[in-house]
């Protein structure tokens, strides 16, 4: 169970910082930094720079992403921004515009 | 574990700010909100707000349906439903709600604004309300 959940009906405009997991199903504008997993669910809108341990995107994300471990862009996701992580997957059906930096 | 999940429980509309989380900014929406961590900024919810023990909110304006506070709150609360301060709560600000309850062990400093009609024997004649509303009950 995620420690911080932003439900579908909720909008946060500002900065979210946590040492634990975050699940976004609603709207977040600003900045998101987590130390653990970040999940952006289908139907969620995130307009923010995101840092986290690992990131799963199934919703819409505009902003730059940095993950300590990995980033998975799932089918149906829409991502505009640069992605930096050691492991990155982009699923068939994911929309992506930006640069990928796997630190090679 | 940092392994992220694909699906998770995000019980519908609501939101939860975990104990390790800090939010600086505005939070608004239709759902309920549970604050276990720290929030700095205005809250405007159509659902219920719960500030759990250990949670803290610093805000100019808090608007919600019902408000339950077990943690720390600094700011004015305007609730369409009841406001309840449970034991351990520390609240500084003005409270407005359909009803306000302060439990034993809660600390509060501020004003209460709770709209209700006084019973007739205390001078709150419901026939000509308005004039009698809010009159002190000390009249004999």
In the prediction, which pLDDT does B125 show?
Answer: 53
Q: Which of A80, A84, A51 is nearest to A63 (CA)?
A: A80
For residue B27, the tally of other CB atoms under 10 A from its CB is: 28
- DSSP states of chain A as a string? --SEEE-TTEEEEEEEEESS-EEESSEEEEEEEESSEEEE-TT-EEEEEEEEEEEEE-SEEES-EEEEEEEEE-TT-EEES-EE-SEEEE-TT-EEES-EE---
The CA–CA distances, whole Å, from B27 to A6, B50, B93 equal 10, 14, 19
In the prediction, which pLDDT does B46 show?
Answer: 94
Assigned token pair, B83:
């406001």
In the prediction, which pLDDT does A29 show?
Answer: 97
Task: State the ipTM, two decimals.
Answer: 0.88
Q: What is the mean pLDDT of residues A34-49?
A: 96
Q: What is the pLDDT of residues B90-130, one digit of tens each?
A: 999 999 999 999 999 999 999 998 777 777 777 655 444 44
Give the percent of chain B with pLDDT over 70: 78
**Could A37 and B27 be called an inter-chain contact, meaning their C-beta atoms sit closer than 8 Å?**
no
Residue B25 scores a pLDDT above 50: yes
pTM for this entry: 0.82
Nearest to B25 among A12, A38, A39 (CB): A12
Q: Which candidate in B15, B28, B37 is best for mutational testing of the A interface (most A CBs within 10 A)?
A: B15
Structure-model confidence comparison of residues B1 and A28, the more confident one: A28
In the prediction, which pLDDT does B2 show?
Answer: 37
Residue B5 scores a pLDDT above 60: no
Q: Which residues in chain B have their CB less than 8 angstroms from residue A72's CB?
A: 4
Structure-model confidence comparison of residues A15 and B3, the more confident one: A15
Q: Which residues in chain B have their CB less than 8 angstroms from residue A54's CB?
A: 2-4
Q: Is B108 helix (H, G, I), strand (E, B) or coil?
A: strand
In the prediction, which pLDDT does A1 show?
Answer: 52
Q: What is the mean pLDDT of residues B33-42?
A: 96
Cβ atoms of A70 and A53 closer than 8 Å: no
In the prediction, which pLDDT does B140 show?
Answer: 39
In the prediction, which pLDDT does A104 show?
Answer: 80
Residue A78 to residue A24: CA distance in whole angstroms: 14
Q: What is the mean pLDDT of residues B46-66?
A: 95
In the prediction, which pLDDT does A102 show?
Answer: 93
Q: What is the mean pLDDT of residues A39-59?
A: 96
Q: What is the mean pLDDT of residues A59-75?
A: 96
**What are the sequence ranges of the domains in chain A?**
4-95
- DSSP states of B5-73 as a string? PSS----TT-EEE-TTEEEEEEEEESS-EEESSEEES-EEESS-EEE-TT-EEEEEEEEESSEEESSEE
In the prediction, which pLDDT does A3 show?
Answer: 87
Cβ atoms of A70 and A87 closer than 8 Å: yes
Q: What is the DSSP letter of B101?
A: E
Please tell me which residue of chain A has the smallest CA distance to B45.
A10
The CA–CA distances, whole Å, from B121 to B9, B52, B137 equal 52, 39, 9
Mean per-residue pLDDT over chain B, rounded: 82
Assigned token pair, A47:
């307009």
Please identify which residue in the block is written with the tokens 């004015």: B76
């Amino acid at each position: 169970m995620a420690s911080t959940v932003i439900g579908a009906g909720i909008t946060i405009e500002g900065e979210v910082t946590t040492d634990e997991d975050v699940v976004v199903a609603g709207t977040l504008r600003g900045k998101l930094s987590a130390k653990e997993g970040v999940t952006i669910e289908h139907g969620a809108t995130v307009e923010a720079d995101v840092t986290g341990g690992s990131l799963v995107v199934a919703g819409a994300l505009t902003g730059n992403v940095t993950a300590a471990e990995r980033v998975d862009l799932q089918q149906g996701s829409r991502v505009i921004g640069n992605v930096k992580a050691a492991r990155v997957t982009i699923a068939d059906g994911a929309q992506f515009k930006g640069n990928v930096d796997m630190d090679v | 574990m940092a392994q992220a999940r694909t699906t998770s429980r995000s019980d519908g509309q609501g939101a939860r700010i975990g104990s390790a989380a800090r939010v600086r900014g505005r939070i608004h929406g239709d759902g309920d909100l549970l604050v276990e961590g720290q929030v700095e900024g205005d809250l405007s919810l159509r659902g219920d707000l719960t500030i759990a023990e250990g949670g803290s909110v610093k805000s100019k304006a808090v608007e919600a349906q019902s408000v339950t506070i077990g943690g720390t709150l600094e700011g004015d609360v305007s609730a369409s439903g009841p406001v309840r301060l449970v034991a351990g709560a520390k609240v500084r600000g003005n409270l407005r709600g359909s009803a306000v309850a302060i439990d034993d062990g809660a600390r509060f400093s501020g004003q209460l604004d709770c709209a209700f009609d006084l019973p007739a024997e205390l001078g709150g004649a419901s026939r000509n309300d308005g004039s009698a509303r809010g009159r002190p009950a000390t009249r004999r």
